[in-house]
Amino acid sequence: MAEKHEFEFQIYNSMTKQKEKFKPIVPGKVSMYVCGVTSYDFSHIGHARAYVAFDVLFRYLKHLGYEVKYVRNFTDVDDKIIKRANELGEDALSLSSRFCQEYLTDMADLHCLPPNEQPRVSDHMDQIRDMIQKIIDNNCAYAVDGDVYFSVDNFPNYGRLSGRKLEDNRAGERIAIDSRKRNPADFALWKAAKPGEISWDSPWGPGRPGWHIECSAMSVTYLTETFDIHGGGMDLIFPHHENEIAQSCAACPNANINYWMHNGFVTANDEKMSKSVGNFFTIREVTKLYHPLALRHFLMGTHYRSPVNYSIAQIEISSEAVYYIYQTLEDCDGAISQFQEEIKTSGKKYSATDDAKKCVKNLRNHFEEKLSDDLHTPTILNAALQEALRLMNKILGMLKKKLQKPQKLSNIESLIQLEKEVRGVLDVLGLLSSSTYSEVLKQLNDKALKRAELTEEDIQQRIEERALARKNKDFTLGDQIRKDLTTKGIALMDVGSETIWRPCVPVELAKSSDGQLTGPPDTSDGQQPGQLKPADATKP
């Protein structure tokens, strides 16, 4: 059974156009189907947006105590796959299988949990043919020349999800002109095989499924005709999901899906992503230069139903935010380890400070309140989580001072509780890596070096040049070295007599259009990542 929580979980239902209290069909259990990728190429950040959003839903439902059955399919038989395979001289199923695996690699990089089932169209031809036959038997489809079409005129409720009327589907625009169709809006359930195409036998002749029927057949196979949640991108509302509803109900009159959920589009630099425009980015292209956690953080920085605009400035800010999180956790872990023996030998149990207790409670309540409100991730990342990280850094700063033993160990207990709560939040958000904190920081550093087109040796040389300039009182040269590195996303940090570096948002990207910083808290007060004081701009 799902656990009882203070806040009711509400999700926006695309069918009713309103937020609704979530109530599963079977108490304590959730059945969820999300439309997967058409596997003919590397997945792009639009795919990442959808599957990160539904991964957060999957994780939060599990956090609430539900037993979740999550199904996400692969379209491995499709016109685009056949076209790409023919261009490459490759077997269509071999090509689609290869890109299914590439997709799974991307999802693992983005910390998306694997669904319970990941069915492929090519493995479900029997179920697809059986469903098509049921639709024909129920007088909602007809065969012609080896093709089978769904008859929208025989399904009165067609259009109830999208709100579109049949007269909106004018021939020559979205619907291909085909004189064999009884209505131009009729859509293919089965496509007769063309020469050289992959095909399967059927009662209507050799061919392959239409795009829409696959999800109806596979969702019924794994979740039955009635289940809780169906998800996908907003671009799937029409025609894909509209057609799914028609097919499923035509084959199974009692078919019903309680909640339809759809994520918003991704634009790039305020323009719709398009290969023709040249602003189309694959997940692999982004993660080549940025840590996958930075991309995940960026995608969760906007509510899943809102459009999200991808830009280098925003991914840089998310990369900085992830670095801040992991540097704080690394410093916290180091401090706890340093005083662990002293805590054991003290023989006393020290209580966390009142500020820490309040912060832990606020983070826990804020986290559940906002995620229960239709998965509102942005306010978690930018409010309560930041408050907890700031307090952790404040305590870390205090531990460097000479404190009385009770006060010191009380602060350590505060860090222990804060770290535990922060880790719990990060885990549900999918931002907690299985790697150590230091390993993640190194990975972030390596990505920053790649973006800056520098090596560790290059930076060390600049540090030495700056140290020599400082020794010679050539402040102008020293300051210029620091500024040059900052423009490349490398910040020099003075720690006592030593100078080290860490990634930062490049200067030209650090400000939004109104000139205000939009990233994590300013690090110039010395109370942020690693308690490091940025290299003084006026004293190189």
Going from the C-alpha of 87 to that of each of 39, 91, 141, 422, the distances in angstroms are 15, 10, 34, 49
Q: How confident is the model at residue 532 (pLDDT cuts 50, 70, 90)?
A: very low
What is the reported pLDDT for 403? 76
- The domain covering 10-268 belongs, at the CATH homologous superfamily level, to HUPs (3.40.50.620)
What is the reported pLDDT for 518? 35
Among all chains, which residue has been given the structure tokens 């190194």?
A: 442
Sorted by where each begins, the domain ranges of the chain are 10-268, 314-534
What average pLDDT does the structure give for the chain? 90
**Token digits of residue 364:** 């826990």
**Residue 289 burial (C-beta neighbours within 10 Å; 0-12, 13-18, 19+):** middle
How crowded is residue 393: how many other Cβ atoms within 10 Å of its Cβ? 24
Quick: pLDDT tens for 266-277: 988 777 776 667
Q: ∠ CA(358), CA(364), CA(366), 5° rounding?
A: 95
| Cα–Cα distance for residue pair 160/137, rounded to 1 Å | 23
Q: In sequence order, which residues have a C-beta less than 8 Å from that of residue 397 and are 6 or more positions away?
A: 526, 527, 531
Is residue 249 within 8 A of residue 16, CB to CB? The reply is no
| Side chain identity, residue 104 | L
What is the reported pLDDT for 167? 63
Edge to edge, the sheet with strand 207-209 lists: 141-144, 147-150, 187-192, 207-209
**Token digits of residue 178:** 């085909």
For residue 515, pLDDT beyond 60: no
Q: In sequence order, which residues have a C-beta less than 8 Å from that of residue 472 and are 6 or more positions away?
A: none
More confident residue, 140 or 497: 140
Q: How confident is the model at residue 151 (pLDDT cuts 50, 70, 90)?
A: very high
Mean pLDDT of 285-311: 97
Is residue 77 within 8 A of residue 123, CB to CB? The reply is no
For residue 510, pLDDT beyond 80: no
Dihedral Cα 533, 536, 539, 540, nearest 10 deg: 90
Helix residue ranges per DSSP H, 44-91: 45-63, 79-88
For residue 172, pLDDT beyond 50: no
**Token digits of residue 377:** 């991730």
Q: ∠ CA(226), CA(228), CA(233), 5° rounding?
A: 110
Q: For 1-15, 365-379, 428-442, which range has the lowest pLDDT when averaged over its residues?
A: 1-15
What is the reported pLDDT for 408? 87
| Cα–Cα distance for residue pair 107/115, rounded to 1 Å | 11
User: What share of the chain has pLDDT > 70, as a percent?
Assistant: 90
More confident residue, 517 or 43: 43
| Cα–Cα distance for residue pair 213/261, rounded to 1 Å | 19
Quick: pLDDT tens for 360-394: 999 999 999 999 999 999 999 999 999 999 999 99
- b/e code 259-271 from CB counts within 10 Å (16+ = b): bbbbbbebbbeee
pTM recorded for the entire structure: 0.91
Among all chains, which residue has been given the structure tokens 């999180």?
A: 325
Quick: pLDDT tens for 197-249: 999 999 999 999 999 999 999 999 999 999 999 999 999 999 999 999 999 99
Q: How confident is the model at residue 1 (pLDDT cuts 50, 70, 90)?
A: low
For residue 400, pLDDT beyond 90: no
My answer on whether omega of the bond before 521 falls inside 30° of 0, hence cis, is no
What is the reported pLDDT for 165? 78
For residue 137, pLDDT beyond 60: yes
Q: What are phi and psi of 113, to 5 degrees?
A: -65, 140
What is the reported pLDDT for 4? 65
DSSP string, 446-501: HHHHHHHT--HHHHHHHHHHHHHHHHTT-HHHHHHHHHHHHHTTEEEEEETTEEEE
Q: ∠ CA(365), CA(233), CA(127), 5° rounding?
A: 110
For residue 538, pLDDT beyond 70: no
For residue 514, pLDDT beyond 50: no
**Token digits of residue 283:** 């997940």
Composition of the chain by helix, strand, coil, percent to 5: 50, 15, 35
Dihedral Cα 501, 507, 511, 513, nearest 10 deg: -160
**Token digits of residue 165:** 């009327």
For residue 536, pLDDT beyond 90: no
**Residue 299 burial (C-beta neighbours within 10 Å; 0-12, 13-18, 19+):** buried
User: What share of the chain has pLDDT > 90, as a percent?
Assistant: 81
For residue 511, pLDDT beyond 80: no
According to DSSP, the β-strands at 207-209 and 226-233 are unpaired
According to DSSP, the β-strands at 10-13 and 18-21 are antiparallel
Largest CA distance in the chain: 91
For residue 265, pLDDT beyond 50: yes
